[in-house]
Amino acid sequence: MAVAQPAMPEWVERVSDVLAGAVGPWITHDAFLGVRWLTLIAALAALALAGLADAILRSIVRRRIRHDEAEARRAPETERQARYWLDRGLEAAVPPFGLLVWVHGVSAAVSVLLLDLRYRDAAEVALNAVTAARGVGTLVSVFWLLYRVSRVVELRLSALSLRTGSTWDRVLVPLAGKTIRLTLPLVALILGVPALPVSLEMQLLFKNGVSLVVIGAVALVLVQLVQAAEALLLAQYRLDVSDNLQARKIYTQVTVLKKVAMVVIGIFTLASMLMVFDSVRQFGTSILASAGIAGIIIGFAAQRSIATLLAGFQIALTQPIRLDDVVIVENEWGRIEDITLTYVTVRIWDLRRLIVPITYFIERPFQNWTRASAEILGSVFLHVDYTMPLRPLREELDRILDGSPHWDRKVKVLQVTDATEHTLQLRALASARDASSAWDLRCEVREKLIDFIQSHYPGSLPRVRAELPPAPAGPEGPARAHR
């Protein structure tokens, strides 16, 4: 939008008359393109004043910081901390204030030059551009100032949270600092955009952009709030202990519910951003008005996906599986590594990953070795000859288990579980605190029992007996045997 070409201020004309009488009439002559020497000197003076103001501001802040650093050596701890963070705030505010000074200094210098420019039409367009640039520069300076100050506030709150030692403070206080850092600079955009000297179309564009930024900031704050709630809940439980049943329950519920919350926040954020624009809002309204048949069609098409999501909720609430559970799935031994709304990741013993649809754990049977407790019984089967004495073998089993770090000192037994026509089947049963320890215990017991039998009772190892009939008497016997 064009504005009328403003005239040179009256005081400038009076100053020019005084200077013309003092230094000569040449100061009122044209230097270039209709710009007088007086105007050029005034523009340079505006730039010099901007530079001088910037230098004075920086000098005052540096002097204040040096003074506070000298005084802080004799001040108490609380006062020293207060001065330190105040100085950091002043130090952070200097560059934005310097930018603001230079924006107005350069704007004043260019405006003074354009007022004397011979080409009036071009001067009017340039003056409008300078006015708009000054408004944008001011807005950028204020935004930068609030961002840098809020960053100092965030660091201050983070430092305070580490001193208290409270879990709530360690999580919530830094979250408050991040919220301040995200929302405080937006105040400059919300208040400054309507004051920009631009057209209505540009103001609408800026307004929509600011709305999108605000929605994104609110969504980010909500995401961080969910993460803070997760950290607070999980900080009270540990998975790296032997008895972690309750911890695995909480971890499973919190993990699944966190992912649900993230999806909900993402959907509402996207919907809110789309509703900023009138065309999209009308399109959404028309879709909602005709959603009867479409809803039925989508419901039939997405019933598999909806069933998967409902299965995810059911897993989180009923918990047939939990994080770090030991399971047998598709004849594979592994641990539950991750649970999402659509699939479960099982870390198999050889570090492969088995990806299983989450509906598998609702619709099909599987083994969960840690459903109620991580304790488990390990069994070792041996086949020995009928001549094997069992008492020494039981005593050896006791010695093996007493010296094993994998045995939990609860269950130990050696039993004859079967007697075939050739061997006895023995089962050594021992308990362990978890499935991994039970596997190592079984391997250790099996190896040492076999070594004991080989060393002390080698004749009792499994053997096959055969009875040969005696050779018939008479002269034909040896000949027949020879043949």
Task: Give the three-state DSSP class for 384.
Answer: strand
* CA-to-CA separations, 401 to 103, 150, 297, 383, in angstroms, rounded: 82, 63, 64, 20
Tell which residue, 2, 14, 249, 214, has the closest CA to residue 128.
Answer: 2
CA dihedral 377, 380, 386, 392 (to 10 degrees): -70
The pLDDT of residue 287: 47
Report percent pLDDT > 90 for the chain. Answer: 18
Whether 285 shows a pLDDT value over 90: the answer reads no
What one-letter code names the amino acid at 35?
V
The 10s digit of each residue's pLDDT in 431-480 is: 998 888 999 999 999 999 999 999 999 988 888 777 777 766 655 555 44
376: β partners: 432
pLDDT computed for residue 121 by the predictor:
66
DSSP-derived secondary structure letter, 472: P
Query: What's the order of all strands across the beta sheet hosting 367-368?
Result: 353-357, 343-348, 332-339, 326-329, 367-368
pLDDT at 23: 59
Q: Two tokens at 291?
A: 């959603």
Give the H/E segment covering residue 236: none
Confidence of residue 118 (pLDDT cuts 50, 70, 90): low
Tell me which DSSP letter residue 351 carries.
S
23 CA to centre of own chain? 69
Q: Helix or strand or coil: residue 116?
A: coil
Q: Is the pLDDT of residue 35 over 70?
A: no
In angstroms, the CA 136 to CA 193 distance is: 9
Closest CA to 382 of 420, 352, 408: 420
In the predicted structure, residue 404 carries a pLDDT above the cut 90: yes
Three-point CA angle 72, 75, 76, nearest 5°: 120
Long-range contacts of range 198-207, CB-CB < 8 Å, 24 or more positions apart?
198/132, 198/135, 199/1
Residues 6+ apart with CB under 8 A from 344: 315, 321, 336, 338, 355, 356, 357, 358, 360, 361
Residue 481 pLDDT: 46
Contact 240/251 with Cβ under 8 angstroms?
no
Q: Are strands 353-357 and 367-368 parallel, antiparallel or unpaired?
A: unpaired
Fold of domain 265-368 = SH3 type barrels. (2.30.30)
Instruction: Please give the residue that has the higher pLDDT: either 173 or 225.
Output: 225
Residues 348-390 have pLDDT tens digits of: 989 999 999 888 888 889 999 888 877 889 999 999 999 999 9
What residues does each domain of the chain span? 10-206+218-237, 265-368, 376-460
Burial class (CB in 10 A: 0-12, 13-18, 19+), 43: buried
Question: For position 476, what pLDDT does the model report?
Answer: 56
Judge contact between 433 and 419, C-beta under 8 A: no
Structure tokens at 31: 């230097």
d(CA 99, CA 142): 10
Q: What is the pTM of this model?
A: 0.48
What whole-number distance in Å separates Cα of residue 328 and Cα of residue 453?
Answer: 33
Q: What is the pLDDT of residue 456?
A: 92
What class, spelled out in words, does domain 376-460 have in CATH?
alpha beta
Q: Is pLDDT at 2 greater than 50 in this prediction?
A: no
Strand order in the sheet with 376-384: 376-384, 424-432, 407-419
Query: What does the pLDDT look like over 256-272, one tens digit per residue?
Result: 788 888 888 888 888 77
Q: What is the mean pLDDT of the chain?
A: 77
